[in-house]
Amino acid sequence: DAGVIQSPRHEVTEMGQEVTLRCKPISGHNSLFWYRQTMMRGLELLIYFNNNVPIDDSGMPEDRFSAKMPNASFSTLKIQPSEPRDSAVYFCASSLRGTTGELFFGEGSRLTVL
């Protein structure tokens, strides 16, 4: 089975530009998480979806960040406008809710905002 697929793997953009990160979870998984990883703050949960519905977005830094899950096989994380402090690795992870809940992570999208 394919794992969690993220794109792009690397993105370099200029401050003020819109950035869209994409995620395809493992087929059959009904929970999806977006995390951000930085040296200073470690792994931070940004948003959690269950059955395509956002359940907890308390980790989204500010209104510049938005996430959608239009169907069970696709999610996006959008930053508009981007800022240098958004530079990080963004991970998508999926799991099957109702089980013991280990997460399966994608390879990440490394974002650099100049």
Partner 1 sequence: AQSVAQPEDQVNVAEGNPLTVKCTYSVSGNPYLFWYVQYPNRGLQFLLKYITGDNLVKGSYGFEAEFNKSQTSFHLKKPSALVSDSALYFCAVRDSGAGSYQLTFGKGTKLSVIP
Q: Is 82 in the site for partner 1 (CB under 8 A)?
A: no
Q: Decide if residue 91 touches partner 1 (CB under 8 A).
A: yes
Write out the H or E segment, with its range, that includes residue 67: strand 65-71
Q: How many whole angstroms from its chain centre is CA 93?
A: 8
| Residue 30, both tokens | 């009904």
Classify strands 109-113 and 88-95 as parallel, antiparallel or unpaired. Answer: antiparallel
Which of 113, 114, 112, 107 shows the shortest CA–CA distance to 93?
107
Least distance from C-beta 42 to partner 1, angstroms? 5
Instruction: Confirm or reject binding of residue 72 to partner 1 (CB under 8 A).
Output: no
From the list 19-27, 62-70, 72-80, 98-106, the region that binds partner 1 by CB under 8 A is: 98-106
How many chain residues interact with partner 1 (CB under 8 A)? 23
- Single residue of 45, 64, 72, 73 touching partner 1 by CB under 8 A: 45
